[in-house]
Amino acid sequence: MKLVALQPAHVTAIARLHAEALAGDFLPSLGPAFLTTLYRGILELNLGFGFVAPGTAEDIAGFVIATDDSRSLFRKLITRRFFRLTWQVGVALLHHPRLVVRSVETFLYPSKEGTHTPAAELLVIAVNAGDRNKGIGVALVECLDESMHQRKIARYKVTVLAANEAAQRFYRRLGFVLATQFVMYGRPWNLFVRELS
């Protein structure tokens, strides 16, 4: 399977896939326009990197995006893309005011993880429903591992909703180890760490 480096040209497609594949999560609840602005900012400001599994036409089969430092990611994004991001969040909050607390929690969540966890993080991985069980998720993580290694990153983390047993099985199968738990949005989350040899 040929994966390609995530580029700004993929932003619309990955935002659409994120919204579809992870519809119950918080960030997709802010809408595709927010996700597009978020990903464009991450890539244009060199705050993250990732890979895409090409699909058909303008669609993609899957993607992964990560950052070297999730602790500073949102702070840098807000500082340098303040008006664009707050506009998109503001539009979403007008329609769903209850999301205000969740917005604040999202931007502060790295502080809940403790200081012993790695700064590098797999932020989002998603595979199109019709392309699942084809090894795309595994290939994306393996490609991410190689990129982390090239960046001299020895370990990275991923957070998973504790109720998402399928995702936890996926990460455990790949060698991620449960490091800590925390509560966000009133629900328990598990933080897994991957040690790279």
What tens-digit pLDDT sequence spans the chain (197 residues)? 789 999 999 999 999 999 998 887 777 777 788 889 889 989 999 999 999 999 876 689 999 999 999 888 878 877 877 666 666 655 655 555 555 555 555 555 555 565 678 999 999 999 999 899 999 999 999 999 999 999 999 999 999 999 999 999 999 999 999 999 988 777 898 999 999 97
Q: Is residue 96 part of a domain?
A: yes
User: Count of domains in the chain?
Assistant: 1
Task: Give the CATH number for residue 24.
Answer: 3.40.630
Q: Is residue 162 part of a domain?
A: no
Q: Is residue 66 part of a domain?
A: yes
3-class secondary structure, 21: helix
- Residue 83 is part of which domain span? 4-151
For the beta sheet containing 4-5, the strands, ordered from the edge strand earlier in sequence to the opposite edge, are 4-5, 49-54, 60-67, 121-127, 155-161, 187-195, 177-184
Task: Determine contact, residues 73/143, Cβ cutoff 8 Å.
Answer: no
pTM higher than 0.75 for the full model? Answer: yes
Q: Is residue 168 part of a domain?
A: no
Cβ within 8 Å of residue 36, ≥6 positions away: 11, 12, 15
